[in-house]
Structure 1
Amino acid sequence: MTSTRNGPTTHGGDVGPTATDTGVSTGGGATSARKGSAEVKSPLLSWKLAAGVVGVLLLLVLSLLTGVYDIFGGDGGAEMFQITRVPRTIALVLSGAAMAMCGLVMQLLTQNRFVEPTTTGTTEWAGLGLMLTVIVYPDASILARMIGAIIAAFIGTLVFFLFLRRVSLKSSLIVPIIGIMLGAVVGAISTFVAVQADMLQSLGIWFAGSFTSILRGQYEILWVVVIVVIAVFIAADRFTVAGLGKEVATNVGLNYNQVILIGTILVAIATGVVTVVVGSLPFLGLIVPNIVSMIRGDDLRSNLPWVCLLGIAIVTICDLIGRVIIMPFELPVSVILGVVGAAVFVGLLLRQRKRG
C-alpha cells in the first residue's frame, strides 16, 4: 500500500481515478487509508443517515426549548421564541455544517489530518479583515464586514498554501505548526491594530465564538454557506482526487491549481461569514472530519452529509452545555469547543506518533 503524505491512500492493485467528459470521478482509486482496499461506495441515503438526521433534529428541538426565559408562560414568549430561539438554532445548523465542511476540504487539499481554519490562520485573517473594515468604515453594514472578512480569509489561506509549497519537509506535524505560527503572527498584528484604534474589546468579542447575540435580522447572512455546501458537493470528486496529490491529479487530467483555488475560495467564504456572525469555532473542522474518516473513509461526496450532521451535533451539544452549566449566565461555545478540540487534537497526535 502506498500513501501520499498522511492523505487519502490508494491500494496497489486498484485502478486509479479516471477523467470524464463532465468532470473527474474517483472510480475505485480513492479509498480510505483505514480501509486499505477498494470498496463499493456506500449510498448517500441510508437508514443510518436517516437515524443521524433524527438525532440531530432532537438536539435542535432541545436547543429551541433551552433558555432562561420561559417561552411558554412568560409574557411575549412566542415573540421571544421567534426573535431569539429560532435564529439561534438556525445559526447553529449553518455555522456547524460550514466549519466542519471547511475542515474536510482543507484536509483533503493539504493531505494532512491536522489542518482546519483555526490551525491555518484562516480565522485570524478573517478577524483582521473584519476589524480593518470597521476601522475604515465605522458604519459598515454586516454585508460589508462579511466581504472584508472573506477577502482577508482568502488572502490568508493563499499565503498558507504558498508557505506550504516552499517547505520541503511536510510531515503531519509541520503543516499545522506552520499554520498556527502564521495565525499567531496575524493575531498579534490584529491585537496591535486594535490597541491603536481602541478596539481591543471589540476584537475580543469577535473572536469569542458565541451564539448569545444571534437575533432575528442579524444572522440571515449565514444562509450564504448553503451555497458553499452545494458547491463543495458538486466539486466533491475533484477535491477527492486533488487529495491524492498534484502528480496523480495531473495524470488523470485534473487542473490541480484550479481545484486548489476553488477550494480556497469556498473555505474563505464560509470562514469569513461564520467569523462575522458567530466568531471563532476552534477545532470543529479538525474533530469532525477525522471522526467521519476513521469510520467511513476519505471520499468527500459520501462523507459530506455525515460531516455536516456531526458538525451540527457537536456545536449544538457544546452550545447547550454553555447555556446550562452556569445558568442563568452563558459560556461562549468557543470555550467548550476549545477544551474538547484540544483534547481530540492531542489524542490524534499521540495516535499518529504511535502509528509511526
Structure 2
Amino acid sequence: METPEPVRLLLFIVVVLLPLAVASLFTGVSSVSLSTLLNGDARAAMILVESRVPRTVALIFAGSGMAVAGTIMQMLARNRFVEPSTAGTVESAGLGILTVLLLAPGLPVFLKMLVAAAFALAGTLLFLAILRRIPLRSVLMVPLIGIMLGGVISAITTFFAYRYNMQQSLGAWMTGDFSAVLRGRYELLWFSFAMTVMAYIAADRFTVAGLGEDFSTNLGLNYTRVMALGLGIVSMVTASVVVSAGMVPFLGLIVPNVVSMIMGDALRRTLPWIALSGAALVLACDIVGRTVNAPYEIPVGTVLGVIGSGFFLYLLLRKQSRAA
C-alpha cells in the first residue's frame, strides 16, 4: 500500500528538515548547546534567540521561496534552465538596491524591498521581451540570453558602484551571507513565505500556463493575469531574499529539476516538495559553510554557486546526450 502524500511530506520534515534546522541552531562559533541552555546560561540563551533562531527561520524562508520562484519562472518561460539568477532577475534587484543606496539611503528597509522588487520585475519583463524577439532554435539559448542580460545589468551596477565608491556596500547586500541575520533583520522574509503560499494556491493555473499561451487561453485561463501574478511572486521573493541576505544562486534551478525528475510537473503535488527541499538544501549548505573552515564562514551563496554550477553543467550534458 502506497504511503499517502501528506504522510510522506511529514516524514520528510521530521527525518530531513527538522534535523537540519536543529543542527543549524547549535552550529556556530559561540557555544550553544542543550546543556548550556539547561544550565541557565544567559549568554547562550541570548545568542539562540537573537541570532540562531532568526538565522534558521531566514534560511528556511529564503530556500523555499527561491526554489518556488525558480519553478514559476521555468513554467512561465517553458524552459528548465531558467531561474532568477539565470534570467537577470537577481542582478536587476541588485541594481534597484544600488539605486536606493545612491538616491535615498535613509529609506526604510521595507521600501528598499519594494524598489528592488520593481527593478526585479522590470528586469524579468525585459528578459521575456527579448525572448519573444529572438528565434530560439535551442532551449540552451534561453539561459544563455538570461546570463548575458544579467552580465550587462551587473556591469552597469558595478560601474555606478565604482563611480560613487559604493562597491563595498553593494557587496554586503549581494553576497548571499546569512551570518548578519539577527532578530529584527529578517522579518522581510515573511513576505517570501506569503508569496510561497500564494504560489501554492495558484499552482494549477501555473501548470496550465506552462502549456503555452494559446493552449491555456483555449482552456479559459486568463494567461496575462497568471503571467502577472507569477512575475509578481518571483519579483517579491527575489527582492525580499536579496535585501535580507543577498544573492542565493542556482537554487531555483537545482531543486525544481530534481523534484520534476522524480515526481513530474504537476505543481499542486510537487510545490510542497520543492519548497521543503529548497529549505533543506539551503540549511545544509549553510551548515557546510559554517563547519568546513571553522571558525570562519563561507557564505551560502558561494557554496550554492559551486553546487549549482556543477548541476547546471550536468543538466546541459544530460540534455545533449538525450538529443544525440
Q: Normalization by structure 1: what TM-score?
A: 0.86
Indicate which of 244, 259, 262 corresponds to 1:277: 244
- Tell me the distance in 1 between the aligned counterparts of 2:20 and 2:263: 23
Counterpart of 2:217, as a letter, is T
CA distance, structure 2, for counterparts of residue 192 and residue 90 of structure 1: 34
Q: Which residue in the other structure is 1:229 paired with?
A: 196
Question: Where does 1:110-149 land on structure 2 (aligned, <5 Å)?
Answer: 110-149=77-116
Q: What is the match of residue 38 of structure 1?
A: none
In structure 2, distance between residues paired with 1:322 and 1:233: 30
Is contact 1:240–1:300 with CA below 8 Å preserved after alignment?
yes
Q: What is the distance in 2 between the residues matched to 1:145 and 1:198?
A: 20
Letter in 2 for 1:324: T
Name 1:32's counterpart in structure 2.
none
Give the deviation of 1:71 after TM superposition.
2.4
Residue in structure 2 matching 1:202, options 149, 169, 188: 169
Distance 1:98 1:163 in 2: 26
What one-letter code is carried by the residue in structure 2 that aligns with 1:117? Answer: P
Q: Equivalences for 1:45-124 in 2 at 5 Å?
A: 45=6, 47-54=7-14, 55-72=16-33, 73=36, 76-124=43-91
What amino acid sits opposite 2:116 in the alignment? A
Q: Supply the distance in 2 between the matched residues of 1:69 and 1:229 (Cα, whole angstroms).
A: 33
Q: Which of the numbers 155, 169, 176 marks the counterpart of 1:188?
A: 155
Equivalent residue for 1:213? 180
Q: Deviations over 1:8-31 (max 9, x none)?
A: xxxxxxxxxxxxxxxxxxxxxxxx
1:251 paired residue among 206, 212, 218:
218
Secondary structure at 2:176 match in 1 = coil
State the distance in 2 between where 1:43 and 1:116 align. 30
Residue range with higher mean Cα deviation, 72-81 or 285-294: 72-81
- Once residues 344 and 355 of structure 1 are traced to their aligned partners in structure 2, the CA distance between those partners, rounded to angstroms, is 16
After TM superposition, what 4+ stretches of structure 1 lie above 6 angstroms from structure 2?
A: none
CA RMSD of aligned residues (A): 1.2
| Distance in 2 (alpha carbons) for counterparts of 1:109 and 1:44 | 26
Give CA-to-partner distance per residue, 1:76-133, whole Å, 9 cap, x none: 1101110000000000110000000001111111111000000000000001001101
Q: Which amino acid aligns with 1:295?
A: I
Q: Distance in 2 between matches of 1:118 and 1:337?
A: 12
Cα distance in 1 for residues equivalent to 2:8 and 2:137: 36
Asked whether 1:333 is paired with 2:291, we answer no
Question: Separation in 2 of the partners of 1:328 and 1:313?
Answer: 23
Q: What letter corresponds to residue 136 of structure 1 in structure 2?
A: L
Amino acid in the other structure paired with 2:9: L
2: CA distance, partners of 1:137 / 1:44: 48
SS in 2 for 1:302: helix
What's the offset of the Cα at 1:223? 0.5
Q: 1:308 to 1:182 in 2, by over 3 A?
A: same
Amino acid aligned to 2:242: T
**Bigger mean CA deviation after superposition, 138-147 or 211-220:** 138-147
Is 1:133–1:144's contact at 8 Å kept on the other side of the alignment? Answer: no
The 3 A distance-change label for structure 1 pair 193 and 220 is same
- Alpha-carbon separation, structure 2, partners of 1:134 and 1:145: 9
Percent of pairs with identical residues: 48
Structure 2: runs of 5+ lacking an equivalent: none
Structure 1 residues without counterparts, runs of 5 or longer: 1-41
**Inter-partner Cα distance in structure 2 for 1:49 and 1:347:** 27
| Partner Cα separation in structure 2 for residue 288 and residue 339 of structure 1 | 15
The letter of the residue matching 1:53 is I
Report deviation, 1:171: 2.1
Q: CA separation in 2, counterparts of 1:352 and 1:223?
A: 36
Equivalents in 2 of 1:126, 1:44: separation in Å? 36
Q: Aligned residue for 2:277?
A: 310
Amino acid at match of 2:151: A
**1:266 partnered with 2:223:** no
SS of aligned partner of 1:220: coil
1:108-165 Cα deviation digits (max 9, x unpaired): 1111100000000000000100110111112122112111111100111111111111
Give yes or no for contact 1:43–1:302 (8 Å, CA) kept in 2: no
Residue deviations 1:217-274, cap 9 Å, x none? 1111110112211211111111101111112111111121221111111100000010
